[in-house]
Homo-oligomer: A and B are copies of this chain.
C-alpha cells in the first residue's frame, strides 16, 4: 500500500459533567500507539458519511449512553499526526452526570476524572480540556449553558453547586438566588421536592434550552 497522503479528519470530544461538587471530564485509556497506555480524550476518525457534529454526537452516545446533550465546537487543529496531513476537530459536551452509564467493561476503561487534578494526558489533551473548562466558565455568566449539566427540573441549590464546581469558588446563596431569578434564564415551576427532614425546595427550570453560540 502506498503511503497515504490524503488528509485524515478526526473529532475529539471533551465530555464534562459535575459530580461530587467538581467538574469532571470523561477520559479513556489508549489501547494502541501512539501514546499507548496513556489517558486521553475519546474521539474517532471521520469517514465522511455523516456530519462532523453527528460523529461527535455518536461518540458521545457510545461512551455515555446519553442522547440530547449540549454539544459545541471548541476549535480545529492541524498537524497532530506527523506522518500525514491531519485535522482534528475538538468539541466539548455537557452531560447530566446522573444519566450517564459508562461502559467500564471496555478495554479503554472510560472514567471520570476531575478537571482540576488531571495527570499528563496524551497529545495536548490537557490544553484542550483547559480551554473547554475556560469556555464553559466564561459562558456561565451570560448564557444558559448550565442547562446542559442539569436535569429538566432542579433546585437552586443544585444549580448553585454546578456554578461553584465550574467557577471553583463558593457563592452566597441569597445573592445567587436573586441574580438567577432576575437574569430571566430560569423560572420557578409549580413543584417542590421533599428530601429529608427540612423544608421542601422549590423546583426551577431553564426558560430556554437552546444553546447560545458566539
Contacts and interface: CB of A to CB of B under 8 A. Distances in A.
Interface of A: 5-7, 9, 46-49, 51-53, 73, 75-79, 84-85, 87, 89, 131, 134-135, 138, 213-214
Contact of A135 (B6, B134, B214): B214
Contact of A73 (B7, B9, B75): B75
Given A53-B78, A73-B76, 15 more contacts: A6-B7, A7-B9, A7-B46, A9-B9, A9-B85, A47-B85, A48-B85, A51-B78, A51-B79, A52-B77, A52-B87, A73-B75, A87-B87, A87-B89, A138-B214
A58 to B, nearest CB: 14
A173 B7 CA distance: 52
A143 to B, nearest CB: 11
10 contacts: A6-B6, A9-B9, A9-B85, A46-B85, A52-B76, A73-B75, A131-B213, A131-B214, A134-B214, A135-B214
Nearest to A85: B48
A135 B213 CA distance: 9
A69 to B, nearest CB: 18
Contacts of A9: 7, 9, 85, 87
A84 B73 CA distance: 22
A51 B75 CA distance: 14
